[in-house]
């Protein structure tokens, strides 16, 4: 292929692969509802799909939606990039195995979260004869493809990562252990909607949270929930945190230091990705608790960088969080006007000084 003189028009290895896959690509900051985006036939998977390529990833990780038709089975796959899967709708099963090994099969349904162990063979099945399955996958494919730019190495590599997966019979049982407060290590979460959360005072407004270390990945996931009439403190970190709204209604503000915020309105099924080190802040503007799942960089076990640290510490003291008393008064004013539209009372504590 001839190389253009203009570097801006040259595709990365990942972008070239994405284009060659022949399915649509949705770009931008935000997708309103992953459950209804249009999907097209995807030969590699044997189902239908669409890439959800959000600007806030900074090219570090990426995501897609895949649909499995009623009664359908996808093609077996393995790849040298990490993949975390959240089931948007339907129910089914996945078989996972390593080269020459025996298959482990586990069942899932809407709300399940799991990780495919790196480079393991896997195959997804739809267990319903009448309802399509839709799942959302977040992968580290951009980094891996751009580094190696060799599809045979990435999709046809016999190396087995025994340190990640050795076909342990209970690997996808849903059992897990607490590594530390609020950090749960497990490879399968049956339902992120009902998983019990723990208080995280420092992030504000009585919010609750749990983090998931999955399949010895460098990616991690977490759930946060915050009550009616409240909002979380603004914070910032590195790129690639895919925030998927599980329930509730509200909005988020996203802004680079010193700039005017962009407002993203969301509800169940929405996804957005705050760009690298942009401040972002989540507001519950609805009549029920707001809950989201984030799939992102920032594993605690396998740390990648320093960009996902001090997320709950005051920026005045070197942290990456804006305390309520230090935020722009327009933030509180906007929240109160959004609540007023819904006839909801603010439950935010008064701030002592501005
Ligand atoms: Fe965040």
- Give me the pLDDT at residue 2, please: 56
Lowest mean pLDDT among 2-6, 65-69, 170-174, 251-255: 2-6
d(CA 255, ligand 1 centre) in Å: 12
d(CA 92, ligand 1 centre) in Å: 31
d(CA 159, ligand 1 centre) in Å: 34
Q: What mean pLDDT do residues 26-55 have?
A: 97
List pLDDT tens digits, range 71-103: 999 999 999 999 999 999 999 999 999 988 899
d(CA 148, ligand 1 centre) in Å: 30
Q: What mean pLDDT do residues 262-285 have?
A: 97
Question: In this structure, are residues 189 and 183 in contact, taking their beta carbons and an 8 Å threshold?
Answer: no
- Give me the pLDDT at residue 307, please: 79
Triad 122, 124, 127: Cα angle to 5° = 150
Concatenated DSSP letters of 66-81: EEE-TT-BPPPB--SS
d(CA 253, CA 322): 13
d(CA 209, CA 323): 18
d(CA 267, CA 292): 10
pTM across the whole model: 0.95
What percentage of the chain reaches a pLDDT higher than 90?
84
Question: In this structure, are residues 175 and 186 in contact, taking their beta carbons and an 8 Å threshold?
Answer: yes
| pLDDT grade for 7, boundaries at 50, 70 and 90 | low
Q: What is the largest CA-CA distance in the chain?
A: 65
- Chain-centroid distance of CA 17 in Å reads 21
d(CA 123, ligand 1 centre) in Å: 32
pLDDT at 22 over 70: yes
d(CA 297, ligand 1 centre) in Å: 11
Residues in the chain: 354
More reliable by pLDDT, 181 or 62: 62
């Amino acid at each position: 292929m001839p190389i253009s003189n203009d570097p801006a028009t040259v595709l990365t290895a990942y972008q070239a692969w994405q284009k060659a896959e022949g399915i649509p690509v949705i770009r931008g900051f935000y997708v309103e509802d992953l459950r209804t985006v249009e999907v097209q036939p995807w030969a590699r998977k044997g189902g239908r799909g669409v890439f959800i390529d959000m600007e806030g990833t900074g090219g570090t990780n990426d995501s897609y939606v895949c649909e499995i038709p009623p009664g359908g089975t996808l093609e077996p796959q393995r790849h040298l990039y990490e993949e975390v899967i959240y089931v948007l709708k339907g129910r089914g099963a996945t078989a996972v195995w390593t080269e020459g090994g025996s298959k482990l099969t586990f069942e899932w349904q809407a709300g399940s979260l799991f990780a495919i162990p790196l480079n393991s063979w896997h195959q997804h099945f739809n267990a319903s004869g009448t309802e399509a399955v839709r799942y959302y996958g977040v992968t580290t494919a951009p980094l891996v493809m751009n580094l190696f730019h060799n599809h045979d190495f990435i999709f046809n590599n016999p190396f087995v990562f025994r340190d990640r997966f050795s076909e342990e019979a209970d690997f996808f049982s849903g059992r897990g252990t607490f590594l530390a407060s609020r950090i749960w290590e497990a490879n399968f979460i049956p339902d992120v909607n009902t998983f019990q959360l723990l208080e995280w005072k420092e992030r504000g407004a009585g919010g609750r949270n749990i983090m998931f270390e999955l399949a010895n990945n460098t990616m991690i996931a977490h759930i946060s929930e915050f009550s009616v009439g409240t909002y979380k403190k603004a914070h910032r970190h590195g790129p690639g945190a895919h925030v998927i709204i599980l329930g509730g209604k509200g909005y988020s503000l996203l802004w680079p230091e010193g700039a005017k915020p962009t407002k993203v309105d969301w509800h169940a099924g929405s996804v957005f990705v705050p760009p690298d080190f942009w401040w972002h802040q989540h507001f519950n503007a609805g009549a029920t608790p707001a809950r989201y799942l984030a799939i992102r960089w920032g594993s605690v076990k396998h740390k990648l960088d320093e960009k996902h640290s001090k997320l709950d510490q005051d920026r005045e003291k070197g942290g990456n969080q804006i305390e309520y008393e230090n935020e722009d008064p327009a933030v509180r004013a906007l929240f109160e006007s959004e609540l007023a539209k819904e006839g909801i009372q603010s439950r935010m504590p008064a701030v002592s000084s501005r």
